[in-house]
Structure formats: structure tokens, C-alpha cells
A and B are shown apart, each in its own frame.
Chain A
């Protein structure tokens, strides 16, 4: 018998994140490194713990090794309690056969047993591809106050961008009367954040119904939520204010990292009252050598910097050799920037070596045709040879030979 948990969180972490290209070739999107020491999943997991949620199911499917290993016992997030904590829930074989998770709703449906063990009143559905700090307990309180069956977190987005999101049109009391998925002419600017609170008995019933519905894609946004609305269930929007960013594309991942360097962006990771927890590598402090120039940057322990670093985010154990320049870039753990190499507007994945005098990416002002410009991305465990040139917007997944000088 498991002690009752008022709230169980379910984190959808099975997505491939194909728009991140080489960065998600070997790992699931929630495991992508962020902010000099974190992985994306640290944000929803830390939000859960800080909101007092003790039971978290993480649904994995695509390339789960790195993610499983990272979550481990859940100890870094204090989610290794005796009867609750974090559980990794992968697709499994049953008597009637084996199924992959065929949609977001189906993934939860296949884990009804896990949720039922805790007899929760509410279930929070989260995704693993956003950077934000949010107190879910306030959203749950609003859900209770509204006597809602489903509450959807929304954020105000600029009207010009609203057509990229799922838009919730609400009555003055906050109740939702209409969903519009990526509307050409949005009626409002309340974009869904992909965070839902459900009363468990209601959701349970709808998941079972949905599973039996012919032709359903078993997706929350496409099937379950529209069905609940059509049935006249009490559905409310919950307005979130604060920093929230989807990091599902190379550009948005880069921008969100750069946001950490901007004192005017409301994302403070030093806040003691809402810590973002992560697994900490065992490495010595960072060393900044004589002759190094470091400004406007975020640098993690284990780094050794002898070159110039400006407007960049460096993860643990990165080495920047003398004469190397790193600007407006993200360098993931263990990568080495050799002497004289210049890395600009780039993301370099883990354990890659950028050879001497290689040039990666370029500043936008140096490119005439703006369509040719973008963030250059170098995959993990690669060697970029000495003197090689990698164009802006390139996506490199193989070693690149050096150039004779």
C-alpha cells in the first residue's frame, strides 16, 4: 500500500526533438544540456520539488539511456524518497501485446497503474522542453478554487507570434470556451504552455474512453482536451507570469542560454528560494589563466580558460587555449578550443575538439545574405581539424579534416 499523494506529476520526456538536429541524435530532448551545468529536465523536476510534489513519473521513449542514467535514483532533486520520488516509466510489454507510446494521452493511459498506486486527487502533466520556474502548487490551488476538471497554464505572447501556439480563448472568469491550434487569425494571446492540471478521476475516465475511440491519435491537444470541452467539463486557463521559453529549436536554445547573460531577463538561477537542482560533476573549481579575457559569460567548474570568452556559456571541463576566441557561443562539457581557433555564434556539443586556427560560425554583420546566416552547430565527440572553416548555420555530425596552411 502506497501512502496517498494528493498530486502526482507526469513528465512527458519521450520526444525526439528532431529540430535540434545533432544535439538530440543520441539523447532525448529533455536531456539536452542547458545553462552551463543543467539539462532541460532539471527545470520541471526542480519545479516539482520546489512546489512540494513528491511523486513524479518520467515517460521516456526516444534514446532513453542518457536520460535514465541522469535521473538515476532521483537523489540530486531529493526525489529518492522511500515510497515516492521519481520513477522512469518506459513503454512495456503486456499480455495483450507490446506498444510504444503512441501519443501523449496514450503514454499516460499506459501508466494508469502507476498513478493509481498513489490515489491522487490531481495529476499534473508536464513536458520536458521548456525553461521556466513555476510554482505548480499555485496552479493547483487555482484549479481547486475554480472547482475545475482541467486547468491549462497559459502565457501572454505577442499577437504577432500567437499563431505559432495553441491559443486558449476564455470567458472573463477564466473558463475556456474555445481552443485554436496555431490559428491564422488568433482571437487572443493566451498561449498554452503544455502544462495541465487534471482532477484524476475525470482524466482517468477520459483516457480510457479515448483509448477506445477509433481514429483517435491519443493526443492531449488534439483529442482529450477538445473532447472534454465538447462535453462541457469545467476547463480553466491559469495565467503564468515570468520567464518561459520553448527550447525546441537551435535558435531558441541558443537564445535561452544567452538570456542567462542578460541582467534584464527575469530568469534568476541564483535565487535560494527556488533552486534549480542538477547532478553536479565532480570537478575542481574553474581556472582563469593569466592573459585570459572573460566577460559577460557563464562558466562552470572544471573549465580552464586561457583565451578570450565573451557573451558565452561554458559547461564543465571546457578548455579554451591561449589565443582562442569564443564569442556568443555555447560550449558543452569537455570540449576543447585549441590555440587560435575562433568560435562565434555556435553551439559546440560535448567532448568535441576544435582544432588550431579553425573558424566556426560567423558574426551576423559579416554576412551579406542574411538567409545564409544562423547558429553553427557541431555534434559531440568530433574533431574539427586545424584551420578548418565551418560556415554559419552549418550542422556538423562528422569529423572535419584540417586544412593545410
Chain B
């Protein structure tokens, strides 16, 4: 049986500033990740795998790359007569989309005309495979008004407005600290919320009328005493991309078997736009170890601890190690690359040497010629 009583809302452009190199030519949701994916593939697939078949994608500006990627939503089975994918750019000016609350306010007609009872709201900066059905079950079990998804970990240094929760024994939120100086492991918000659609409309209207426009401060922090807000702990693989170093580490984490098993579950696959590449060709004298490689590559050199996206070419006698190389990039012969993030369509000519460091990978921007 397909379909349930839940709809999805995805903020596709928030937190762009944290990985500004990668978002120079695209929005957060369109950032390539893990050899064949874009960041929006994770929330979209999670929603579809949870039986959600109506998803609104909010894009403030520069939405070409995301529209090109998601198209009609066919690859996620979201090209449908009932429900399906809705791309919701601002109607007139981008000021309406200046923050979470005003953005939600500007899609009020979409929210009001929907008939689903619940809404899942999420961002695009976290790589994870989460079952929203389970969040929903817990939400109903707790008889909650709002369920916030959190993880227990150290807060990433650059995370915007980190929101830390305290719970009572039943898991109900009894305190909310935003931007506090908590150190060490704590329960912080993953920007994933489960809420009744009508309650969301009511809260957004209330905030707009009072001109209190901070989603976390005015809805979560402002209402936890009046409403029953429960936490849902997610303890799977879930890196948040708050810096280029995070981005690099999250890609490298895919070399671990348990991470891949957690992220790429065969029963809950991550869907992405299809490109008809042939399988990857490993040439005579190629040497590949501990690497994640997508279809369509041609490898004639040596590859170690790398993520190679679709259609990458590694030339003869070239060694790439600890690199993330995005689609259709060509690395010539007799070159050496180490700790480099190479964006799409880059040409690295023969006999080039590029070196970064594990905590500071070098970045080569889209379409460059080295």
C-alpha cells in the first residue's frame, strides 16, 4: 500500500554559507555527495521510503541546479497525479524566503490546500537514512504535538544556532537551549520536525502576527511549555556538513563497511537521477584500494581512499589518494593528487601535483583547468 497521511517539506538552500566553495554554483540540496548523489537525494528518498508521496521543496534562489536534478521527481517515484513533487520558489521576491518562518508563511496556500494530517520538515545538510514512519509511530505513541529529531553527539563547531534539548524520563522536552556554551556530548536538534499540519499553520500564523520570526526561538523554545514536544533520537550515521572538512570526512566515512550498511540499506535505497553510464572500466595496470567508485569511470592509474563520481577518468601512472573527485572530471597521466576535492568537469592535465592535508583539503572549482 502506498501513501500515508504525511507530507514532506524540504528546505533545499539553508546553510549554504558553511560550504561556500561547493555552493558557489549551486544550492545545498544540489551539492554532490558519495559518488553519485546530491544532498537532496537523502531527505527525498527518506520521505519516499517512509511512504510519503507529497513533497514540497523550498528553494530561495539559484534553483536551476536543483530543478535540473529532480526534474519531475520520476527518479524518486514522485511524478504522480496525486501528490508528487512540488518545487516552491518564492512567488515575487526572495525577501519572503529570508528565514524559515517567513518561508513557511509564503507557502501557506500549499500548506492549507494539502489534506495530509502531518508534516515532516527537514533540511538538506545532513546525510542520513531515517525512517519517518518510525518517527510518526513514536509521535502517536507519545500523543505529542511536535516531535523533534535529535542526535547525541558533540555539536559541530560551526553549526548555526545549535539547539540543545533536555528531556524528562518520558522523552518530553523540558528545556531548550539555543546557542548555549554547552561542551561535550549533548542532545542537539537535527532540524527535522514532525508536526500536525494544522498546528504548523496555527503556529506560523501566530508568529507572523506577533512579528516573532525565529523558528527555533519562537516555535520550539517559545512553545515547549504550552505544547507537548517530544524528542526522537536518531543514532544512525548522520554527518552534518558544516564545513569543507566535514564534507571531506563524511565522504571518507563511506569507506567503512558499517557506515555503508547503515546508509545504503537495500530495503530503503537512496534514489538519485539516472544517467546511463556504462559500468566502470579498470584498465591494465590500474590499482584501486579502499575506494568508492560510481559507474562510468575509466581508471588507468592508482586510486587509494577516494570517492570517484560518475564519469571520472584517471590517467596512466597517475596516483590519486584521499580525494573526492566529482563527475566527468579528467585527471591526466603522470599526475599526483592527495587530499583534494575536485568539483565537476575539471581538467587536470598531465604531470600535475596537487596536495592538501587531511584537515584542510584543497578545493578545485567546477570547470577549472589545472
A interface residues (Cβ-Cβ under 8 A, vs B): 35-37, 75-76, 261, 269-270, 275-278, 280, 282-301, 309, 313-315
Contacts and interface: CB of A to CB of B under 8 A. Distances in A.
B288 A296 contact: no
**6 A-B pairs with the lowest CB-CB distances in the bound complex, closest first:** A36-B279, A285-B35, A300-B279, A284-B264, A269-B278, A285-B294
Given A284-B34, A285-B292, A288-B293, 13 more contacts: A37-B278, A269-B278, A270-B278, A275-B276, A276-B276, A282-B271, A284-B263, A286-B292, A286-B293, A293-B287, A295-B285, A296-B284, A300-B279
B295 interface: yes
Contacts, number: 102
Contacts of A36: 278-279
B275 to A, nearest CB: 8
B270 A284 contact: yes
Contact of A294 (B277, B282, B298, B308): B282
Contact of A288 (B274, B291, B298): B291
Nearest to B307: A285
Given A280-B274, A284-B34, A288-B291, A298 B279 contact: yes
Contacts of A313: 279
B276 A297 contact: no
21 contacts: A37-B279, A75-B74, A270-B277, A282-B269, A284-B292, A285-B295, A286-B280, A286-B294, A288-B290, A291-B289, A293-B287, A294-B288, A296-B282, A296-B283, A296-B284, A299-B280, A299-B282, A300-B279, A300-B295, A301-B295, A315-B279
B291 A287 contact: yes
Tell me the interface secondary structure of chain B in the complex.
loop
A295 B282 contact: yes
Nearest to B309: A285
Contacts of A285: 34-36, 292-295, 307-308
Contact of A35 (B34, B36, B279, B286): B279
Contact of A278 (B276, B292, B293): B276
A285 B295 CA distance: 7
Contact of B284 (A276, A295, A299): A295
B313 to A, nearest CB: 10
Contacts of B225: none
Nearest to A36: B279
Nearest to B304: A290
Given A35-B278, A36-B278, A270 B260 contact: no
A292 B260 contact: no
A179 B281 CA distance: 42
Q: Which of B276, B284, B308 has the most chain A CB atoms inside 10 A of its CB?
A: B276
